[in-house]
Amino acid sequence: MAEPLSPPRLLPSGDSAITVEFSRTIDDAANRRVLALDRVIAAEPIAGITETVPTYRSLLVHYDPVQISFDAIGEQLLARAAKAPPTETGTRRWRIPVTYGGEHGIDLEDVAKALQTTPDQIVARHVAGDYRVAMIGFTPGWSYLSGLETFLHVPRRKDPRLLTPAGTISIGGIQTGVQCLAGPSGWHLLGRTPVRTYQLHRDPTFLLEPGDAITFTAVDAKTFAEQDRAADAGEFVAELVTP
Amino acid sequence: MSKLVVTSIGPASSVQDGGRPGSQRYGLVPSGAMDRLSLAAANTLVGNELLAAAVEIGPFGASFTARGGAVRVGLAGASRNADIGGRPVAFDSSATLAEGETLNLGFARGGSFSYLAIEHGIEGEPMFGSLAVNARAGLGSPYPRPLQSGDELKTQAASGIAECRIELPASNDAPIRIVFGPQDDEFADESKKLLTDSEWKISATSDRMGYRLEGPAIKHLDGHNIVSDGTVNGSIQVPGNGQPIVLMPDRGTSGGYPKIATVITADFGRFAQISAGRSFRFKAVTIAEAQAEAIKFHALLRSLPDRLRGIEDFGLNIEALRDANVAGQAVSAIDAVTWQVAVP
C-alpha cells in the first residue's frame, strides 16, 4: 500500500452533523476506512461530538454547533482520517437461518422473473454469498451486508412498501440485508429469518456489530416456526461459527 | 400519589422528551419531541428540566382527569380551546386540576402538536435514558405505544405554587430554512431551484417518521439509488417518484435515497408544526448562517426560565383574551374579560 489514501469528502448534513464520505459506492476498503476513523475518534475524541454513525461508505458525525463549527470539526476529522490505520480486529462469523420464498419471501418469484431465472437459482446464489456487516441502520438491528454478487443486483422499488415483516431478508440495489423489526422498505423480500438482531432485555440487546461476517443457510418453514419460538424466548438462533 | 388519567385522546399522541441519542450506530433512532421549543416551554411552566418527558398531543382533541390529588400542568405548542371543568385555560401558561377535575382540549389551531407537561414529571422506566415512545422499537414508558384512553400518567401532588405564563417569541410564517447537502450533487441546479422556488404542502399520510411533501417532482441526475448512509432530523430525501420526504424524529437512522438538503435546527420545530394541507416554502441558507441560528436557538431554550411571568401580569390577560377570542367558541372577548383576575 504505497499509494497514499485520498482524503474523504466532507458533506454538511444540516447544521449539527457532518458526513465524512470515503466513497460513493460500496467497497470494502472504504467501509474499513469508515470503521477505522470511528475507532480513531473513540480513542482521540473531538470536543463537541455527540455521536458517530458508521455506514457503508461514510461516517456520520453528530455534533453540537454551540461547541464546534462545521469548518473546525471538518479540519479535525480530516486530520484523524489521514492517520486512521485501517487495521482489522478479530472477525466474528455468524450463520443465519432463512426460509426463502412463499409467504416468507413474497418477491422471490418476481425477482427470479426479472433476472430471467428460477426462484431456486436465486436462493442458491443468495445462500452461496459470503457477506459482511457493513453497517447497521434505518431501524434497530437492520443490518446492511456487503458482498452481494452482481447477478443479484436489482434496483429498489420505486414506491417503498409501508410495511414489511420482522426478520425479512431482502435485496435492494447492490445490497442485501437482515431486517429485524416490521417496517417500511423499498427492497425486494426474498425470505425471513427467526434471528432477532435487536431484542430488548436480552444480553446483548444488539446481536451484530459492523464488520461481522455472515453466511445464510436455507431452512424449511417448520424449522423457522420452531426457531422463531426459541428466538422469542431470548435465544440467538444464529450460529456463531468462529468467535 | 396523583395521576393524570387520559379520558380521551386522538392518534399521534405519545409521551416524548429529549429522546435517546447514542445508539444510532445500531439503528436505534433517538425519537423525542417534534417541537423541542414547545416541549421545553411546557416543562419550564411547571419547573421541570427543559427536555423532561411530557405528553405530545396530535392534532385532535384530548381530555385528562386528575385522580388521587391535584395535578399541575403546563401547556404549550399549537394552541387549542382549553378548559378545566368549564374554566378557560390559556396556552403558554400553567394550570392546576383539582382532584376529579377534567382538562378538555379542542383541536389544534395553527399547528399540529401541543405539549402537556406535568409538574414533578411523568413516572416511568427510562429505556436507553429516555421515556420517549418509539412504538416500532417497542420503547417508551409508561406505555411503549401512543396513548389511549384509560392510560394513567403517575406523578406527585401539585405544589400549589402560583400559576405562571411564559413569554415566547411571536410565531412566524417565514420560509423554512434549509442547508443543501449532503447529496445535492445528485441533483441538477434546476432541481435545487425547484425545491426553493416552489410552494409545498405536507401530505396527510405524514407521521412522526417522515413528512411527505406534495409539489413538483424533483428529478435526480442519475437515478434514485444511492448507497444507504446516515440521516438526521430534517433530512430531505427524494425517492424515485420525485416527491420529497422530510425525515422526522422517528426516522430511520439511515436511508438509501439521495438527500438534497436538510432543514436547519432552529426551524425544525416550526416545520414539524405545519399542518397537513397548508402551503409553505423553503429558503436555502449557508451552513454558517444555519449554525448561527442554531446557537441562537439553544440560547432561546436556555432563556426559557427567565421568560416566566406571573399570571396576574397585564400581558397574560392580553394573551388569554386573544386566545379565547381566536377560539371563536362560546367565549367572546367580553366573557374572557370577566374571568380575568385584574384588568387594569
Q: In this complex, do B228 and A138 lie within 8 Å of one another by their Cβ atoms? A: yes
What CATH number is associated with residue A73?
3.30.1360.40
Alpha-carbon span B147 to B34, nearest angstrom: 16
Q: Which three cell numbers stand for residue B253?
A: 437512522
Q: Which 75-114 residues of chain A touch chain B by CB within 8 A? A: none
Look at residues A56, A83, A110 and tell me which one is the last residue of a structural domain: A83
Rounded alpha-carbon distances, angstroms, from residue B259 to A137, A190, A242, B184: 16, 27, 38, 7
What's the pTM? 0.87
Structure letter (DSSP) for residue A90: P
Which residue in the block uniquely carries the three cell numbers 392546576?
Answer: B96
- Evaluate whether residue A2 is within a structural domain: no
Alpha-carbon span B5 to B152, nearest angstrom: 5
Query: How far off is chain B from A26, nearest CA to CA, in Å?
Result: 7
What is the structure's pLDDT at A59? 97
Under a CB-based contact definition with an 8 Å cutoff, are residues B312 and B93 in contact? no
What is the structure's pLDDT at A123? 98
A204 touches chain B (CB under 8 A): no
What is the extent of the structural domain holding A112? 93-242
Specify the number of domains making up chain A: 2
Same domain flag for A144 and A34: no
pLDDT (average), residues B162-172: 93
Same domain flag for A41 and A110: no
C-alpha closest to that of B198 among B214, B178, B174, B219: B214
Bridge pairing between strands A58-63 and A131-136: unpaired
What is the structure's pLDDT at A84? 60
pLDDT (average), residues B66-78: 97
Given a cut of 90, whether residue B31 has pLDDT beyond it is: yes
Same domain flag for A77 and A101: no
Query: How far off is chain A from B13, nearest CA to CA, in Å?
Result: 20
A60 touches chain B (CB under 8 A): yes
Q: How confident is the model at residue B235 (pLDDT cuts 50, 70, 90)?
A: very high
Residue intervals in chain B for CATH 2.40.100.10: 176-301
Q: Which three cell numbers stand for residue A127?
A: 445462500
Burial B174-187 (b: 16+ CB within 10 A, else e): eebbbbbbbbbbbb
Which residue in the block uniquely carries the three cell numbers 445508539?
Answer: B23
Same domain flag for A15 and A48: yes
What is the structure's pLDDT at B325? 42
What is the structure's pLDDT at A3? 54
| pLDDT 10s digits, B294-340 | 999 999 999 999 999 998 644 444 455 444 444 333 332 322 222 22
Instruction: Give the neighbor-by-neighbor strand order of the sheet with B200-202.
Output: B279-280, B200-202, B210-214, B245-247, B235-237, B259-263, B176-180, B282-284
Same domain flag for A136 and A208: yes
C-alpha dihedral, A99 to A102 to A105 to A110, nearest 10°: 140
Residue of B nearest to A138 (CA): B252
Look at residues A62, A83, A104 and tell me which one is the last residue of a structural domain: A83
Under a CB-based contact definition with an 8 Å cutoff, are residues A146 and A118 in contact? no
Question: Exposed/middle/buried for A122, CB within 10 Å: 0-12, 13-18, 19+?
Answer: buried
What is the structure's pLDDT at B321? 47
Percent of all residues in chain B with a pLDDT value above 70, rounded to a whole number:
90
Per-block mean pLDDT, blocks of 10 residues, chain A (243 long): 74 98 86 90 94 94 98 97 70 95 97 97 97 91 93 90 95 92 92 96 91 95 97 94 78
| pLDDT 10s digits, B237-272 | 999 889 999 999 999 998 878 999 999 999 999 999
Q: In this complex, do B232 and A70 lie within 8 Å of one another by their Cβ atoms? A: no
- Selected residue of B128, B229, B232, B241 to mutate for chain A interface (largest A Cβ count, 10 A): B229
Point out the residue among B22, B227, B291 whose CB comes nearest to the CB of A57. Answer: B227
What CATH number is associated with residue A155?
2.40.100.10
Residue of B nearest to A163 (CA): B136
What is the structure's pLDDT at A87? 62
Same domain flag for A107 and A54: no
Alpha-carbon span B164 to B73, nearest angstrom: 11
Q: In this complex, do B28 and A140 lie within 8 Å of one another by their Cβ atoms? A: yes
CATH number of this structure's domain B176-301 = 2.40.100.10
* Backbone angles phi and psi of B334, in degrees to 5: -65, -45
**Mean of the per-residue pLDDT values of chain B:** 90
Given a cut of 80, whether residue B141 has pLDDT beyond it is: yes
C-alpha closest to that of B53 among B18, B29, B20, B28: B18
Given a cut of 70, whether residue B12 has pLDDT beyond it is: yes
Same domain flag for A41 and A161: no
Same domain flag for A139 and A176: yes
- Chain B residues closer than 8 Å to A53 by CB: 24-25, 230, 253-254
Same domain flag for A55 and A105: no
Alpha-carbon span B236 to B257, nearest angstrom: 9
Point out the residue among A138, A198, A210 whose CB comes nearest to the CB of B253. Answer: A138
Alpha-carbon span A113 to A77, nearest angstrom: 46
- Chain B residues closer than 8 Å to A25 by CB: 227
- Contact residues for A200 (Cβ-Cβ < 8 A; gap 6+): B127, B138, B139
Same domain flag for A225 and A128: yes
Query: How far off is chain B from A234, nearest CA to CA, in Å?
Result: 16
User: What ipTM was predicted for this assembly?
Assistant: 0.89
| pLDDT 10s digits, B178-233 | 999 999 999 999 999 999 999 999 999 899 999 999 999 999 888 766 778 899 99
* Backbone angles phi and psi of A72, in degrees to 5: -70, -40
Point out the residue among B182, B209, B241 whose CB comes nearest to the CB of A13. Answer: B182
Cβ count near A90 (within 10 Å): 7
Burial A203-223 (b: 16+ CB within 10 A, else e): eebbbbebbbbbbbeebeeee
3-state SS string over chain B? CEEEEEEEECCCCEEECCCCCCCHHHCCCCCCCCCHHHHHHHHHHCCCCCCCCEEEECCCCEEEEEECCCEEEEEEEEECCEEECCEECCCCEEEEECCCCEEEECCCEEEEEEEEEECCCCCCCCECCECCCEHHHCECCCCCCCCCCCCEEEECCCCCCCCEEECCCCCCCCCEEEEECCCHHHCCHHHHHHHHHCCEEECCCCCCCEEEEECCCCCCCCCCCCCCEECCCCEEECCCCCCCEEECCCCCCEECCCEEEEECHHHHHHHHCCCCCCEECEEECCHHHHHHHHHHHHHHHHHHHHHEEECCCHHHHHHHHHHHHHHCCCCCHHHHHHCCCCCC
What is the structure's pLDDT at A32? 87
Same domain flag for A130 and A76: no
- Chain A residues closer than 8 Å to B247 by CB: none
Given a cut of 60, whether residue B15 has pLDDT beyond it is: yes
Under a CB-based contact definition with an 8 Å cutoff, are residues B255 and B24 in contact? no
Look at residues A83, A116, A132 and tell me which one is the last residue of a structural domain: A83
Same domain flag for A110 and A75: no
Q: In this complex, do A65 and B265 lie within 8 Å of one another by their Cβ atoms? A: yes
C-alpha dihedral, A210 to A214 to A220 to A226, nearest 10°: -50
